[in-house]
Amino acid sequence: MTRHPTPSARARTLVAGAYDTHVHVAPDVMRRRIDDVTLARRFAEVGLAGFVLKSHYVPTAERAEVVRAAVPGVDALGALTLNGSVGGLNPVAVEIAGRQGARIVWLPTVDCVNQRESQARAPEGATPPMWAQLQEDLARQGIMAPPIAVVDGDGSVVPALREVLTLIARHDMALATGHLSGPEIIAVVDAAAGLGVRRIVVTHPEFTSQQLPVDVQRRLAVRGALLERCFTTPYTGKVDWDVLFDHIRRVGPEHSLLSSDLGQPFNPPVENGLALLADRLLAAGFTEDEVRVMAVTNSRRIAQAPASRASRPA
């Protein structure tokens, strides 16, 4: 098995009480490093508060409820990603997810127009995402969902998305922007804020198919969005670590949200992701307070967890 770095005790302490708001674990339609119940037990061991179960293909709110019952004290949270497998921009799916207690709704990822049309090349040696093989398999079978458009020809959000955003606001869920392009993300964030969505996450702005410039990130931060900094994006070679650090500094740590995006069999243990990212940030000169804001304060805001519960272990 590939050897991976081990987090320092200092980093473990700094991220105690955090939520990892972006993990991909079993059961899933592709092989994963760990299952959700075992992950919950490991989170309890290292002092993390909880995690959001992300799937590109299925809702996870029911599953999260089972995990919470199996491992009391670890707050597993459900989510929904609006890809073709759930009907795309499907207000019924969003309404049901809201009633089931889902905490985050991702806009389309693998099925959005931007991801389908993206010609961006990952740097040489970068590890491809696991969903790419599944998408190719679906295409070979002729059952690939059509690309999902979130804006019209004028750049305005489509009516179906406005309905979805209204439901997200009504159920007080967080919105994540998925794999949309920069102009799409700007239109969506503006519309979501105008419709009363209170928590907005710009999904991994450094990812190959996003690559948002700093000026765009700053504009989104002014609108109240948090910029998600995923451990896997630089760890798997999709962006240089120094680029990630520069973006955080120029946009402001207070506008960043740390997550792991882990769960792939070839990557480090999921429960180590936030602490490993904290170690990298500390080595790059970020302060402990800055790391804690990004890892704990902002993740608990997205999870709707009370700040008073975020205490460091003795």
Task: List C-alpha distances in Å: 94 to 65, 193, 234.
Answer: 17, 18, 31
Collect all residues with Cβ–Cβ distance below 8 Å to 136 and sequence separation of at least 6: none
pLDDT in tens, 229-270: 999 999 999 999 999 999 999 999 999 999 999 999 999 999
**What band does 307 get if pLDDT is binned at 50, 70 and 90?**
confident
Q: Is the pLDDT of residue 311 over 50?
A: no
Q: Are 267 and 4 in contact (CB under 8 A)?
A: yes
- Quick one: how far is CA 68 from the chain centroid? 20
Residue 32 in contact with residue 25, Cβ under 8 Å? yes
**Kind and range of the H or E run holding 114:** helix 113-117
Sheet holding 50-53, edge to edge: 19-23, 50-53, 75-77
| Span 140-197, pLDDT tens digits | 999 999 999 999 999 999 999 999 999 999 999 999 999 999 999 999 999 999 999 9
Domains delineated in the chain: 9-120+138-306 (3.20.20.140)
Question: Would you tell me how many other CB atoms lie within 10 Å of the CB of residue 62?
Answer: 13
**CB half-sphere exposure, 192, CA atoms < 13 A:** 31
pLDDT at residue 64, rounded to an integer: 98
pTM of structure: 0.95
Encode pLDDT of 283-305 as tens digits: 999 999 999 999 999 999 999 99
Asked whether 145 and 85 are in contact (CB, 8 A), the reply is yes
pLDDT at 309 over 50: no
Question: Is 90 exceeded by the pLDDT of residue 2?
Answer: no
Q: Output the DSSP codes for 236-274.
A: TTSS-HHHHHHHHHHH-GGGEEEE--B--TTSPPGGGHH
Q: Are 14 and 295 in contact (CB under 8 A)?
A: yes
Strands of 104-106's sheet in order across: 79-81, 104-106, 174-176, 200-202, 226-230, 256-259
